[in-house]
Amino acid sequence: MLSLILRRLIQLPVIVWVIYTLTLILAWAVPGNPLENPEGRRPPPEVAAAMKAQYNLDSFPRFYLSYLDSATGLRWARETLSGEGARRAEAARGAGLAPPARPVFDLGPSLKHRDERVASILAGALPVSVSLGLLAIIIAVALGVTAGVVGAVRPNSFADLATLVVALVGISLPSFVIGTLLLLVFGVWLKLLPVGGWGSPVKMVLPALTLSLPFAAYIARLTRMGMIEHLGSDYVRTARAKGVGELAVLFRHALKNAFLPVLSYLGPATALAMTGSFVVERVFNVPGLGQHFINAVQNKDLFLIIGVVLVFSTMLVLLNLAVDVLYRWVDPRIE
């Protein structure tokens, strides 16, 4: 187990480096000038060229190396060793001001929102996306497993059919339709829940519910299939023959095994719920990561594109690792 974790953690920087290189090549090829206001005045060409040079956007190799230099902490180490960092902090204190922040791993500025460091954008948006994604997954598991068990206990009954229809709707309807529908019903007509924004648990309910439905639907189908399979298996028949109560058969025997495919689905699903909530974020005005991803690509905001991609890929690697570890822990038969 420990060697698995170690091996994956050692692979992580290599994976991240390859992803950085590929992302930068692709993002660099996107047409357009990220420093340009698409509806406004264009500065004279020599000023536009000087602006690009300010961010090393005039040379691919220079950008590639300088990003690696600051993102890996090399620049920080150099400035610390040479005493440059201490000198700056001293100068700031001399003027009665807080010294400039000096992060070890500097992911650069955003090119569209030039006052923002990518790291602070990510730090602000990540908790939002993570909590929204987590709540959505919790709701999805609760809804999905319940529906799946109900369906499996009485296959082809009315209850089974009903959950099948709901699951089908959950998977096929895009979240901007479901989101807007929920918003209209609960926010505007019933006035039970706020129409959007972030900052209190009650504001999380609608976006999390919207986000959870496709996952809930998939989990319901996985659970139902697994349950039907296991309920018909020999060990369940044996348990019933031994007089084990129906509830215990369902939950202690069948569900325990039927849940394993759900568990392995939860890894990518959690990653997807945390990172793929762009539409939901937009409909409910949630300040999460997804919007930055889309906007960054549209604005050709190189630093932000790379930052978001690196965070997403790191999360995916780590969540997959977490699921593998959990899986072994839940079912020790797996090597």
Partner 1 sequence: MTRLLVPLLLLAAALCAIVLADRPMPRADLTLNNGQDPTTLDPSQVSWTSDLRVSRLLFEGLVANDVFDPGYGIAPAAAERWEISADGREYRFFLREEARWSNGEPVRAGDFVYAWRRAILPDTAADYFTFFEYIEGVGAFFDWRLGALDAFARDSAEMAPATRAQAARDLWAETERRFGAGVGLEVVSDRELVVRLTHPVPFFLDLCAFPAFFPVYEPLVGQYDRLDPDTGRVISGAGWTKPPRLVSNGPFALTVWRFKRDMRFEVNPWYWDRDSLDVRTIEITSIADPSAQVLAYQTGAVDYLVDVNAPYRREMVAQKNAYYREHQAEHQRLVGEGWDAFEIDRRLPPDPRGLVHITPAFGTYLWNFNCSPAMPDGRPNPLADARVRRALALMIDKRAIAEQVRGLGEPVARTIVPPGSLAGYDSPEGLPCLSDCRTETEREALIGRARALLAEAGYPDPAGLPTIELEFNKDSGHDLAAQSIAKNWQETLGIPTRLVQKELTVFRDDLKTHNFITSRASWYGDYPDPLTFLEINRTGDGNNDRAFSNPAFDSMLDASYIQTDPAERLAGLARAERLLVEEELPFVPLVHYVNVSMFDAARLSGPNPHPRSIQDLSLFDILGDGIGSDEVKRVAREEHR
C-beta closer to partner 1: residue 164 or 229: 229
Residue 221 C-beta-side C-alpha neighbours within 13 Å: 14
Which residues make Cβ contacts (< 8 Å) with residue 148, sequence separation at least 6?
163, 219, 220, 221, 222, 223, 224, 226, 227, 258
Question: Which has the closest alpha carbon to 138: 202, 212, 204?
Answer: 212
- Total of chain residues touching partner 1, rule CB under 8 A: 80
* DSSP-derived 3-state class of residue 301: coil
Which residues make Cβ contacts (< 8 Å) with residue 290, sequence separation at least 6?
129, 275, 276, 277, 278, 279, 280, 281
Give residues 145-184 in contact with partner 1 (rule: CB under 8 A). Answer: none
78 in contact with partner 1 (CB under 8 A): no
Question: Any idea what the Cα angle at residue 281 is, between residues 309 and 105, rounded to 5°?
Answer: 30
Which of 28, 64, 76, 198 touches partner 1 (CB under 8 A)? 198
CB of 138 vs partner 1, minimal distance in Å? 6
C-beta closer to partner 1: residue 20 or 284: 284
Give residues 81-110 in contact with partner 1 (rule: CB under 8 A). Answer: 88, 91-92, 95-101, 109
Question: Which has the closest alpha carbon to 279: 124, 175, 197, 200?
Answer: 175
CB of 162 vs partner 1, minimal distance in Å? 25
Give residues 246-265 in contact with partner 1 (rule: CB under 8 A). Answer: 251-252, 255-256, 259, 263
233 in contact with partner 1 (CB under 8 A): no
193 in contact with partner 1 (CB under 8 A): no
Question: Which has the closest alpha carbon to 315: 262, 276, 287?
Answer: 276
C-beta closer to partner 1: residue 31 or 243: 31
* DSSP-derived 3-state class of residue 109: strand
268 in contact with partner 1 (CB under 8 A): no
Which of 27, 57, 107, 112 touches partner 1 (CB under 8 A)? 112
14 in contact with partner 1 (CB under 8 A): no
CB of 222 vs partner 1, minimal distance in Å? 14
Is the Cα torsion angle 74, 77, 82, 84 positive or negative in sign?
Answer: positive
The one segment of 50-58, 164-172, 215-223, 239-247 that binds partner 1 by CB under 8 A:
50-58
CB of 20 vs partner 1, minimal distance in Å? 21
Which residues make Cβ contacts (< 8 Å) with residue 134, sequence separation at least 6?
270, 273, 274
